[in-house]
Structure 1
Amino acid sequence: MKAAGILALIGCLVTTTEPKVYTRCKLAKIFSRAGLDNYQGFSLGNWICMAYYESHYNTTAQTELEDGSIDYGIFQINSFTWCRRAKLQEKNHCHVACSALITDDLTDAIICAKKIAKETEGMNYWQGWKRHCEGKDLSEWKKGCEVS
C-alpha cells in the first residue's frame, strides 16, 4: 500500500514534455507581437520560414550534433554557445537553460534568437534559413495570417 502511494506521488511529480507544433499563422502572430518583424532588418517572413526549416514549428525539437552539442527548440539554438545544458559545460551567451527553449512559452527562445541575430551575422547562424529562405520572396509565409 505504501509503495503504491509513493508511485502515485512520483507519477504526479514526473512531467513529460508534450510536443507543441504551432501553425504558421499562430507563429506569425507570436513573432509579430515579440517584435521580430524587421528585427535586424529581417522581415517576419524570414523568421517564419527559418522556424519551419529549423524545427517544423515544433517547440520540443532537439537535434544532437556530431560534436556532442544539442540544438534546441523552435529555432534550434545550440547548447554549446547559447544555452546551459550542464552546470559549467557551455558558454551560455543567452543566459538561459536549454530546457527553457523547448517549452510552449516562446519568450526565452525569441529573446535568445534576437541575441543571436544581433551578435552574429544576422540570420546566417541558421543553416535552414541560408538554404531555403535567404534571398527569396518570403511574403507567402505570412499570407492569410492576421498579423497586427
Structure 2
Amino acid sequence: MRIWVLLLLVAAVSTKRFTKCELVRTLKAAGMDDFFSVSLAHWVCMAFAESNYDTLAIHFIAEDIFVINNRRWCSDGKFPGKKDCPFTCNQLFSLQNSIDCAKIIVQKLGMTPWKGWRYECWGQDVSKYVAGCGV
C-alpha cells in the first residue's frame, strides 16, 4: 500500500482553498513558471487535478494540493533509505521546502509522478488554468 504525505502550499498548520488566480500568483512568485520547462499552466492544472486547489482535499490517505510519496521523496521513519528531497515529510509543510522538493521531483522525473497531471493535463491545452490571472 502506498503511503502519501502532504505537500501544502501554505505555512504549517494553515489550510487554504486557493482560487485559481491566487494559486497562479503564488506559484509564479515562487519561481515555478517554466521551471525545468514546466509551464505555470501545467503546475496549476496539476494542482486542480489533484485537489481542486484545496489544501484539505482528501485523496485516499493524503490531504493536500500536491501529493508527494514518502517512499522516495521525504523521510518519515516508515520507509528507510536515502530520500531524493533533503527534508523530512513534516518539513514539507513549509512553502519553500515544498517548492524545493517539487522542483527536485520535476528535475528527476518530470511531472509524471503526479497521477492527476498525467490523466488531466498531459497533452492537453492547459492555457485555461492561467487565463484571466494577468500573467
Provide TM-score, normalisation by structure 2: 0.78
2:9 corresponds in structure 1 to none
Partner of 1:51, secondary structure, is: helix
The sequence identity of aligned pairs, in percent, is 39
Partner of 1:99, secondary structure, is: helix
Partner of 2:66, secondary structure, is: coil
Pairing of 1:41-120 with structure 2 (within 5 A): 41-61=37-57, 63=59, 73-86=64-77, 89=80, 91-101=82-92, 103=93, 105-120=94-109
- Please say which structure displays the higher CA radius of gyration: 1
For CA contacts below 8 A with separation 6 or more, give which structure has more relative contact order. 2
Report the CA distance shift for 1:37/1:129 in structure 2 as closer, same or farther (over 3 A). Answer: same
Q: What are the superposed Cα offsets for residues 52-91 of structure 1, whole Å, 9 maximum, x if unpaired?
A: 1112223355655xxxxx6563210111111121276354
Whichever structure has more helix as a proportion of its residues is 1
Q: What are the superposed Cα offsets for residues 113-148 of structure 1, whole Å, 9 maximum, x if unpaired?
A: 11000011x11111110100011111110111133x
Report the CA distance shift for 1:125/1:99 in structure 2 as closer, same or farther (over 3 A). Answer: same
Unaligned runs of 5+ in 1: 1-15, 65-69
Letter of the structure 2 residue corresponding to residue 114 of structure 1: K
Unaligned runs of 5+ in 2: 1-11
Q: Distance in 2 between matches of 1:93 and 1:127?
A: 19
How far did 1:92 drift?
Answer: 2.6
RMSD (Å) for aligned C-alpha atoms = 2.4
Q: Distance in 2 between matches of 1:80 and 1:62?
A: 19
How far did 1:29 drift?
Answer: 0.7
Q: What are the superposed Cα offsets for residues 21-45 of structure 1, whole Å, 9 maximum, x if unpaired?
A: 2221111111111111111111110
Report the CA distance shift for 1:76/1:90 in structure 2 as closer, same or farther (over 3 A). Answer: farther
Letter of the structure 1 residue corresponding to residue 21 of structure 2: C
Letter of the structure 2 residue corresponding to residue 117 of structure 1: V
Partner of 1:125, secondary structure, is: coil
